[in-house]
Amino acid sequence: MFVLHIALQGCLRGRDVVYGLTADTGGHIRYLLDLVAASAQDFGVAEIVVATRLFQGPPGPDYAVPEERISDKVRLVRLPSAAPGYLSKEAMHEEVASFADNLVAWIGAQARAPDLIHAHYADAAAVAAIVEARLGIPFVFTAHSLGRVKAAMLGGDAAGAPDLARRIATEEAALAQATLVIASSRDEAEVQYAGYESYNPGRVRVVPPGSDLARFAAARPHPRVDALIDRFLHDPAKPPLLAMARPVARKNLAALVRAYGESPELRARANLVIVAGTRGDIDALDGDMAATMRDLLVLIDRYDLYGSVAYPKTHRPDDAPAIYAYARERGGLFVNPALNEPFGLTLLEASAAGLPLVATDSGGPNDIVETCGNGLLVDPRDPAAIAQACLRILADPALRARYVAGGARAAAAYDWDRHAARYHALLRALLAPEPPLRTPWQLLVCDIDNTLVGCEAALGIFRRWRSQQTGLAFGVATGRSFHSAMAVLEQQMSPRPQVMITSVGSEIYHLDANGVTYTADAAWRETIAAGWDRAAVRAALAGIDGLLPQGPLEQRPYKLSYFGGAAAARRVGAHLAEAGLAARVIHSHDRYLDVLPAEASKGTAVDHVRALYGLPERAVFVAGDSGNDVEMLRARVQAIIVANYSDDLASNAALQHSYVARASHARGIIEGVAHFRRMLAHAS
């Protein structure tokens, strides 16, 4: 496989990248270089080329070198465009056509054309679309950050920004044209992209990037780095609040200075350390970095923070582990107050180095903190909330210890080898499609957690069994969102479902002909939307005793999700009935409570799919393990309860027709299907 990456923004070179050299030389370059390094380890990848702009003059001669060999498999190729010098991302649209012409010519001169293109940022996707139109090479897209998110951050100030409007239009085209979109987090896939007209959730995959966390887990202080920071501080022994980010407006470092400056208690307890890239003269900084640095210095002066705030001008690229270790050894924590953080590699690095986190609740940190349990999320626009979260961790040693322990899980959860394996599996599947069955004669739909997955050996047996079921369409029905479910299935190397019933039956997705992407079932959405008043249901449930809303990512257009016990579930039903609101309440594991449109459930969703396939009732098998499977199990004649069930399913009077398997997890699914097939054979 030959993969061509396109990345036009910033100052890209194969090693020793100077992050923060320009406003656009940031995390996307780190992501790209780490990705290609991991990809190169795959024996099935023959060649990788990273194509970027060639430009003369500042920031230096390295960026005028036409080709740079990164490794045996990886080359960095710089191609000219119309403008000879460095350009910011706001001006990059003017270079798309000329760069695409030169890239098409370069591809034509190669012994072999790339199999697939991966575009990074929307202008690169515009180039990739031109190449695809001329040469037929498909492309996948990674946005890294989005114009609509920036527009939301700017509010009314975005109205007069033509560059931002142009960027959003380019992103719309990229989402519409890309074969597949690679996202780093559920927030990106389910919230950030959702504001685009071209958004199709079934064509987005969440593949969290990895990080080289081993060197951060082994981080040790360094006297030179300690001195670099300590020279600013009256009392260097105090715990530091560490922030490490480019000094650009969206990183919101000013809010952290305000949070610190306006909290006497926080100033008494801690120092503030801001590592904001490498700079010479502030006036020479690129983009909005100069203005941002001036704002920080004005705030430091306004609150008279001299001796309490460190803001070193320079640090070496390899100093980051020692900077994290500096904060760890003094009992500090890491703060990311960005208005939006698409992913947050520095959060993983800091966490691996042993620092608890206080992070923005906008973007990738939602996924990181949920996965690792390593810190607190805050509204980045609320300096008081930032200060309060920092104080909460500093004042509670047990809480700090729990978050530090959670950080140790980051290396396992965010691993580049795991990322590359999933990424390559997707690319290979796109290049060699396995289309779904057009006329299946049977359908199997099963729950995911603790039914299909939960036992690695059983899932391995299921994979082999599934490969032999030529006439069987396979689907899943889960409480998870589409992207959460797909991430689990691909991480566990599950067979790819032909149908995905997600969010407790409130959404249905069907596998496309390319065998990788999915299309949402619009007819099902219209069916369940009738009579559903989400706002009224939410208002009716506000303040119910024992009912706690789940996180924002678990709330869907046709699903409201809460934590609550059986008593809370009864109160919810009573409140909705009293308010005259039609809705379905589903309670499971004595903890999770979902409220859906009256017509929505796993059971009704399975019946919708059965009707689409034109299958009789006896051709459908369903399998589950918990309370949120009850609607699906009781509605089907051929219902399977796996042996590791919960919520007392086997004693449920409505499920007495079900087959209770002796085997657990996926083995129980196979056992149940075999049981019902034997019954069908005897009946005929």
Q: Which pLDDT does position 518 carry in this prediction?
A: 98
Q: d(Cα 231, Cα 27) in Å, to the nearest integer?
A: 29
Cβ neighbours of residue 556 under 8 Å, at least 6 residues apart?
481, 503, 506, 507
How would residue 656 be classed by pLDDT, with cut points 50, 70 and 90?
very high
Place of tokens 């069916």: 527
Q: Which pLDDT does position 276 carry in this prediction?
A: 92
Q: Which pLDDT does position 684 carry in this prediction?
A: 61
Q: Which region, left, alpha or beta, applies to residue 450 given φ > 0 means left and ψ of -120 to 50 means alpha?
A: left
Exposed / middle / buried, residue 412 (Cβ in 10 Å: 0-12, 13-18, 19+): exposed
Average pLDDT over residues 385-400: 97
Q: Which pLDDT does position 120 carry in this prediction?
A: 97
Average pLDDT over residues 658-672: 97
Q: Which pLDDT does position 343 carry in this prediction?
A: 81
Q: Which pLDDT does position 315 carry in this prediction?
A: 87
Q: d(Cα 395, Cα 372) in Å, to the nearest integer?
A: 21
Q: Has residue 158 got a pLDDT over 70?
A: no
Q: Has residue 160 got a pLDDT over 80?
A: no
Q: Share the mean pLDDT of the chain.
A: 93
Q: Which pLDDT does position 284 carry in this prediction?
A: 83
Q: d(Cα 416, Cα 213) in Å, to the nearest integer?
A: 10
C-alpha R_g of the chain: 27
Q: d(Cα 341, Cα 365) in Å, to the nearest integer?
A: 7
- Say how many CA atoms lie within 13 Å of 44 toward its Cβ: 8
Q: Which pLDDT does position 328 carry in this prediction?
A: 97
Q: Which pLDDT does position 138 carry in this prediction?
A: 97
Span of 112-121, 134-143, 196-205, 673-682 with lowest mean pLDDT: 673-682
pLDDT, tens digit, for every residue of 502-512? 999 999 999 99
Average pLDDT over residues 111-132: 97
Q: d(Cα 160, Cα 352) in Å, to the nearest integer?
A: 42
pLDDT, tens digit, for every residue of 444-469? 999 999 999 999 999 999 999 999 99
pLDDT, tens digit, for every residue of 1-11? 999 999 999 99
Q: Which pLDDT does position 294 carry in this prediction?
A: 94
pLDDT, tens digit, for every residue of 526-545? 999 999 999 999 999 998 98
Q: Which pLDDT does position 278 carry in this prediction?
A: 82
Span of 211-220, 315-324, 424-433 with lowest mean pLDDT: 211-220
Q: Which pLDDT does position 316 carry in this prediction?
A: 85
pLDDT, tens digit, for every residue of 588-603? 878 899 999 999 999 9
Q: Which pLDDT does position 157 carry in this prediction?
A: 67
State the DSSP code for 409.
T
pLDDT, tens digit, for every residue of 38-84? 999 999 999 999 999 999 999 999 999 999 999 999 999 999 999 99
pLDDT, tens digit, for every residue of 305-343? 999 999 999 888 789 999 999 999 999 999 999 988 878
Q: Which pLDDT does position 185 carry in this prediction?
A: 87
How would residue 159 be classed by pLDDT, with cut points 50, 70 and 90?
low
Average pLDDT over residues 25-35: 91
